Structure 1
Amino acid sequence: MTQTAFFTAPARSLGHILAAPFKAVANGLIALAEAGPRMQEINRLNALSDAQLAAQGKTRDGEVRRIFGAHFYI
């Protein structure tokens, strides 16, 4: 005897449907920010240990201020 199962997609509420465009825009803005040069510098900074920074005569706080200093009040 054969059994057949039918799978249907879960019903989406009206709230989910109305929120979808806003989520897409927010995800796009996040992707844009993460692809920027400041974020790439922060990723490089995070890859360095505190000992490596100290060997270069730098501090993590100082580098964050250098990267974001002109754009944010830190």
Structure 2
Amino acid sequence: MARTRNAFRSVFSGLARGAETVARAQNRSAEFERLNSKTDAELAALGLSRDAIARYVYSDILYI
């Protein structure tokens, strides 16, 4: 019985981690699109250039 419970916990834990990963990716994509839709002047006001958007949005996972 305990083995079955642990197996279910493992499966549901994996599903939860997967859903969290998808949600984070969607948030990053939305942020990238939001910034990319701004004009160069608007980006400059934020201290960004168009070629730095990806680095800004993904900097914690890409290490670039």
TM (norm. structure 1) is: 0.43
Larger RCO of the pair (alpha carbons < 8 Å, separation 6+) = 2
TM-score (norm 2): 0.48
